[in-house]
């Protein structure tokens, strides 16, 4: 069984938007639709996590439109939202993919690669090479230049065997130590996390300039279609 938790409860404060990030419209529809459509019919279970204030408006509509999905409320932080999804998984022994809907341009091939990696190794992330020179800075001064060949930017979806990521979240909650992604919780248990090639197109919508890029990408998609 393959499940997907689509996380869209973030406020998107850096976008200076009047609505949460998941509900900003690009190409004529809300951002979350792009991820939902990519995963729908490709996995067995979808849990879509929204801000609590938007749950009433969207839950009935989406659960009717997309048969079998569950729309639930998120928490204060991202890890709270992911945990809310993990807590109601019907999937007990399969694979769960955790994806940020702020990355609307993932491909079906990426989903497939992550699933295959998670099935084989228990935990899998997509990553891409960084293009910029990276330096460690303390205050206003450079401490050292990092070896770019050994550093990668990590994306979602991240895939895990259900029992592994649930255990990782239990441990994180017990120690009250979380992280900026899900894989780090697995790493802290001493497990190796497998990496597959990500996609440069799989951008994360974080700043206003990202929205401008996203609009261009949507128009290019329409021309291809």
CATH class of 2-224: alpha beta
- The helix or strand, by DSSP H or E, that contains position 97, with its residue range, turns out to be strand 95-100
**pLDDT for 160-172, tens place per residue?**
999 999 999 999 9
**pLDDT for 109-137, tens place per residue?**
999 999 999 999 999 999 999 999 999 99
Cis peptide before 97 (omega within 30 of 0): no
**pLDDT for 13-38, tens place per residue?**
778 777 899 999 999 999 999 999 99
Are 27 and 215 a contacting pair, CB within 8 Å? yes
**Residue 90: which pLDDT band, with cuts at 50, 70 and 90?**
very high
DSSP 133-176: --EEEETTEEEEE--GGG-EEE-S-EEEEHHHHHHHHHHHHHHT
Closest by CA position to 157, among listed 207, 101, 205, 212: 101
Domain ranges of the chain: 2-224
């Amino acid at each position: 069984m393959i499940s997907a938790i689509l996380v869209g409860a973030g406020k998107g404060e850096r976008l200076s938007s009047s609505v949460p990030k998941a509900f900003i419209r690009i190409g004529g529809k809300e951002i979350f639709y792009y991820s939902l459509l990519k995963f729908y019919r490709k996995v067995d279970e979808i849990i879509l996590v929204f801000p609590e204030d938007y749950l009433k408006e969207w839950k009935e509509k989406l659960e009717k439109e997309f048969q079998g999905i569950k729309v639930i409320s998120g928490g204060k932080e991202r890890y709270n939202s992911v945990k809310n999804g993990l807590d109601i998984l019907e999937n007990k022994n399969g694979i769960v993919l955790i994806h940020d809907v702020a990355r609307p341009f993932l491909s079906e091939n990426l989903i497939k690669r992550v699933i295959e990696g998670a099935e084989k190794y228990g935990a899998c992330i997509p990553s891409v090479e960084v293009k910029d020179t990276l330096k460690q800075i303390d205050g206003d001064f450079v401490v050292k230049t990092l070896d770019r060949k050994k550093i990668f930017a990590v994306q979602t979806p991240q895939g895990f065997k259900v029992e592994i990521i649930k255990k990782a979240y239990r441990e994180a909650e017990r120690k009250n130590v979380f992280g900026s992604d899900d894989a780090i919780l697995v790493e802290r248990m001493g497990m190796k996390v497998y990496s597959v090639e990500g996609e440069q197109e799989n951008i994360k919508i974080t700043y206003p300039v990202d929205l401008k890029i996203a609009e261009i990408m949507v128009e290019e998609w329409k021309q291809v279609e």
